[in-house]
Each structure stands twice: as C-alpha cells, then as structure tokens.
Amino acid sequence: MPEGHTVHRLARTFDQLFAGHALRMISPQGRFADGAALLDGQVLVAAEAWGKQLFLGFGGALAPTGTTAERWLRVHLGLYGAWTFASDGSADVVHAIGAPRKRVGERETVPAPELSDAGDPQGSRASDSSPGVGEWAAPAPRGAVRVRLLGAHAVADLTGPAACEVVTPEEKAAVEARLGADPIRPDGGHASLDAAREAFACRVRRSRVAVGQQLMDQAVVAGVGNIYRAEVLFRAGVDPLRAGRDVPASTLGAIWDDLVVLMRDGAATGAIVTTRPEDRDAALPGFGPPVAGLPDDGSGRGAPRAGRRRTRQNTDGTPGAVPPDEAFYVYHRDGLPCRVCGAPVLTKELAGRALYWCGTCQA
C-alpha cells in the first residue's frame, strides 16, 4: 500500500498538470460513471493529501484556481490502486504512482506519443474521449480504468482503488476529522506542527495497544505505513511491542519530529531513505561484498547473506542516490545483521502486517 509521501506527490502532480483547467472525466470501466458525470467538465481548483487520502477539488466550468471547491473526488489507493499518467510531451510526467506492482519509478518520464503512419498519435483520438481539448490524442485506457481525467496536455488513469467517490466539502471534513495528524502537511492538520506533535503523543499514550500497532492506525498518525513504522521505531530505539502508554511523551515527540523529516524527504524525492550515512553498507566493516579467502574482520557483523530486499520504491536510478539495499535499517531485512549492532533483524506478524525490528537496539 502506498505510504503518505506517495499520496502527497500525487497531489502535487495533479496540481502541476491540471490545476485551473476544465477536465473531461469519464469511467472507461463503467463502475464510476455516475460520479464521473458529476465532475465532467469541471475545473480542478485544488489538490490535497491527508495521510493516504487524496482529495481533488472541483469548481464550476469557469472557476478560477483558488476558488472554493464545490465537490471533491476522494481516492484511497489501498493495496492495489495506482494512477498512471501520460502527456503530449509539453511536460515531464511520472509514469505511475501507486501500488508497487504497477510502479515503474516515480521519476520516470513519459515521452510524447509516437505518430502512426497516418500522422496521428497512436491511441484514442482526443475527439473520441475529450471533445474540444485540442489536437493531442491521449493513449487508449489500459486495464480496468475506474476514472480517466483528461486535460489539454495530459491524462491520468485510476485503476484498482480501495475508495473512489464524490463528496461534499462537509463530507470531506468529516473524513479528515477521523484521521490523525499528518507529518507532511505544513501544520500537521492541526493548528500548528507543535499541536500536531502533542496530539500524536497524547493519542498513543492513551492506549495500552503496542506502539508498533498504533503507528499503523491512520486515526493515530496519518500516512505512516509499514516501512516508516519499522524504520522510525528503530531510529528511536523503541521496542515496537511496547505498550503505547509506557512510551515517554518525550520519546513520542522525537518520533513525530523524525517522521516529519523522513516523510517530507520522501515526498520531495519519491524515495524512502532512513539510514544515516555512517550506517550504510559501504561505511561498515563486514558489510561489503564477501571476498574469497579473507577471514571475518572481527566486527561481529559478518558479510550480508541472501535475504529479501524488496525496495522497489527506491529504484529510481538517480545518479548519487542511496542504493536500494542500503536505504533501510530493518524493513525487509529479516535475518540479516543489524546495521548498528550486528544482531539478526527479527520479524513477526502484528495485526496482520509483517513487523521488523532489532531485538538488541530496540530492547
């Protein structure tokens, strides 16, 4: 399931590609035909994210940017949802943002559609799916597209969402009221970041539920998923199975501050990197590629053995980027040596999700 930083990147992408433009909205799959009809031809006036919820606000057909939205499209991608983008070449766009199975890489751009022998862009003609938006021909929908948003220069297709509905401003506010503070929002979704920090700490300390489980509760903190949960608890040295009420408020405040930094960095770069430079493989004796004939260096860490390192959210190929295998401390590193103490990284199921931690550093 995409984490909160991905949804904030989505909001920014919609703002950059479509803000202020009247959009054609259809449901190629047909399951959202009534909702699409309500917003078809409306102007996108706002794009917001709160945790894992994406809200696209629409005004009237001639509404200027900044106008208060009359209706909102609420989308929650869930486990399998994704947005796929294409443009006419006038703007660089990501190919896909969403479910890891569909993700190509958040920094990958899509070139202008190729011309067919007849001189027309390959795919469906603009006149077929969006009369009056110009000569550009958007590519035909692929797969079960729930919603297609088509502008003059770009198209966005939504597939497989857990939730997709048209809501009023009041209904949007009710959804937000059920969510916890969002570390990426400028004010955390509260009066200030300090207020959001305090609300988060108070919410966790009200319950005896394990802090590792609470961090995955969107009513406690919005946008944190399995990766950020595992990594921020490791960085804080907190046992994920410790009861929330037993974690000091100062420690929870530090966890919140760390989430603000890590998740905003993820929203800016499109990659989750939680390791400090000094803890990455190249900086640690015993973590480099094993060399035949050389003894262990005595660090106690040893060379890494085979294990799962499914870190596709970091495989963007950007020069100078942290390699995927060095991006995390514990997530999907079960059985591998802890980057700090060398003890094997542990895993178990907690509330239906895999939990990763170091039993020594997080005692």
| Amino acid symbol at 324 | P
Catalytic residue among 3, 48, 106, 198: 3
| Pairing verdict, β 345-350 and 353-358 | antiparallel
Does one domain contain both 99 and 243?
no
Residue where one domain finishes, among candidates 172, 207, 237: 172
- Does the annotation count 264 as an active-site position? no
- Are 111 and 150 found together in one domain? yes
- In this structure, of 149-163, 198-212, 316-330, the range with the lowest mean pLDDT score is 316-330
In a domain, 178, yes or no: no
- Answer yes or no: 176 catalytic: no
Active site residue 290: no
- Identify whether residues 353 and 218 lie together within a single domain: yes
Do 203 and 269 belong to one domain? Answer: yes
- pLDDT reading at 309 higher than 90: no
Mean pLDDT, rounded, for 277-298: 54
Phi, psi for residue 278 in degrees, rounded to 5: -70, -10
Per-residue pLDDT of 332-359, as tens digits, reads 999 999 999 999 999 999 999 999 999 9
Main-chain phi, psi angles of 16, to 5 degrees: -70, -40
Gap between the Cα atoms of 52 and 257, Å rounded: 19
Question: What's the farthest any 2 CA atoms get from each other in the chain?
Answer: 73
- Our measurement of the distance from residue 262's CA atom to the centroid of its chain's CA atoms, rounded to an integer in Å, reads 12
Q: What is the CATH number of the domain that holds 227?
A: 1.10.8.50
Residue 237 inside a domain? The answer is yes
Determine which one of 9, 24, 52, 146 is catalytic.
Answer: 52
Domain count, the chain: 2
**Which position among 2, 121, 183, 240 bears the catalytic label?**
2
Q: Are residues 161 and 263 in the same domain?
A: no
pLDDT confidence bin for 306, thresholds 50/70/90: very low
Same domain, 23 and 114: yes
Question: Residue 187: inside a domain, yes or no?
Answer: no
Does 2 qualify as catalytic in the annotation? yes
363 located within any domain:
no
pTM (whole model) above 0.95 = no
Q: Which domain holds residue 267?
A: 193-358
Q: Which of 12, 31, 107, 353 is catalytic?
A: 353
Specify whether 293 is located in the same domain as 232: yes
Residues 288, 143 within the same domain: no
Kindly state whether residue 52 falls inside one of the protein's structural domains.
yes
Of the chain, the end-to-end C-alpha distance in Å amounts to 28
3-state SS, one letter per residue, for 93-139: CECEEECCCCCCCCCCECCCCCECCCCCECCCCHHHHCCCCCCCCCC
